[in-house]
Copies of this chain bind each other. A is one copy, B any other.
């Protein structure tokens, strides 16, 4: 490095521009993550469809293999392949950073579960698994893919895009709960009755959907609301069959044919939901590009502004002074108005940026608060795993049961559990390292 280049690279100007570049990198990285999220979202959609038809196929054993099921399996495999190709393309982008352990681990979990899908498909085809068992495997896999979307939202460095990702995550979760509700309904209608346990599970799934869609609504950009309105149309129809299921009494026998009707209606509703996901993903894509363009423009403006300051100084023969005041001869006092003015300008720009970063960070923190609920649930779950040596699934079931028994949300159970634990631990004085 030449002497002047070296001096340049330790100047305030250099770091000022590096800070802007760092913001730009952050947005470019976010754009890549959003592309990953879009792919995950599409894969989840076909997996949900595949789960639905696998469920239908398994619950009517000895019927011919549903032609749609084979088609859906192929679609899933195709989306799986697309996701893997994207991951390969993004490899450097994804794996080179320092703060990615959570996201990368989530991706590893999701891929691990995806790798287990092929044997499951064989078991389904051969009817060597139950509706329950197969459904659970699909649900775990979809859950691990949702975690990737959650981590993407939690690692986003832009408030507006975080809002959109929070909306998308909650929407995907609501849609996933609708898928689980569809499966549960099929089982009930197929069996011809809903016992109290089934009804309780149905109510839990409905309440959790309401909560997820409310959060979606709170964070969603207005652009996607028309697509959401279309979903309501099907929700009303599903609601009617839900009411039938919830109002059956022990001994009532329901028409088996309703299973098909229920399945079709739920599927129409879920497909309408996929349009919302699609609109949301497109919106996020546009948002990312706009943010990147704005950041680039801001950088160009800054460079222009700084060059203008430099030109102004050059006209007055003070070229070296603005950016590297240290090169000013020791004996030369600051007395010309021009340099003083330029220094103020530079300081103004620096302080303006500090304020801007502060404002942005506050907005980001605010947007991320929406993720706290799920974090509480995850935290409570892992504490159960740790302290009671449960599996992840068993810990989740225990929280879920507590929520059902007390008629409160999963998030509230988790929150109460964590508060109780904090009280037991007494004052939270950090341990001396």
Contact in complex: A108, B350 (CB < 8 Å): yes
Contact in complex: B29, A325 (CB < 8 Å): no
State whether the Cβ of A157 lies closer than 8 Å to any Cβ in chain B.
yes
Q: Which residue of B lies closest to A105 (CB)?
A: B19
| Stretch in A53-61, A250-258, A269-277, A379-387 touching the partner | A379-387
Q: Which residue of B lies closest to A77 (CB)?
A: B326
Given contact pairs A163-B430, A433-B160, A100 touches B350 in the complex (Cβ within 8 A):
no
Contact in complex: A331, B105 (CB < 8 Å): no
State whether the Cβ of A119 lies closer than 8 Å to any Cβ in chain B.
yes
Chain B residues positioned under 8 Å from A346 (CB to CB): 112
Q: Which residue of B lies closest to A6 (CB)?
A: B88
Chain B residues positioned under 8 Å from A7 (CB to CB): 84
State whether the Cβ of A104 lies closer than 8 Å to any Cβ in chain B.
yes
Interface members, chain A 206-261 (any B CB < 8 Å)? 218-222
State whether the Cβ of A355 lies closer than 8 Å to any Cβ in chain B.
yes
**Shortest Cβ distance from A120 into chain B, in angstroms?**
9
Chain B residues positioned under 8 Å from A9 (CB to CB): 87-88, 91
Given contact pairs A10-B88, A333-B128, A101 touches B19 in the complex (Cβ within 8 A):
yes
Q: Which residue of B lies closest to A348 (CB)?
A: B391
Contact in complex: A334, B105 (CB < 8 Å): no
Chain B residues positioned under 8 Å from A99 (CB to CB): 22, 26, 99, 157
For this chain, the copies found in one complex come to: 2
Interface members, chain A 92-143 (any B CB < 8 Å)? 94-102, 104-112, 114-119, 121-123, 126, 128
State whether the Cβ of A420 lies closer than 8 Å to any Cβ in chain B.
no
Contact in complex: B94, A97 (CB < 8 Å): no
The 9 closest A-B pairs by CB, nearest first: A19-B104, A10-B84, A12-B112, A15-B108, A12-B111, A26-B98, A18-B95, A115-B325, A16-B108
Q: Which residues of A contact B (CB under 8 A)?
A: 1, 6-7, 9-16, 18-23, 25-26, 28-29, 83-85, 87-88, 91, 94-102, 104-112, 114-119, 121-123, 126, 128, 157, 160, 163-164, 218-222, 287, 324-326, 328, 330-334, 343, 346-347, 350-351, 353-355, 357-359, 361-362, 366-367, 370, 378-379, 382, 385-386, 392, 428-430, 432-433
Q: List 13 A-B contacts (CB under 8 A).
A: A9-B91, A10-B88, A12-B107, A16-B104, A19-B108, A25-B97, A97-B97, A109-B350, A118-B326, A122-B331, A128-B333, A354-B382, A358-B378
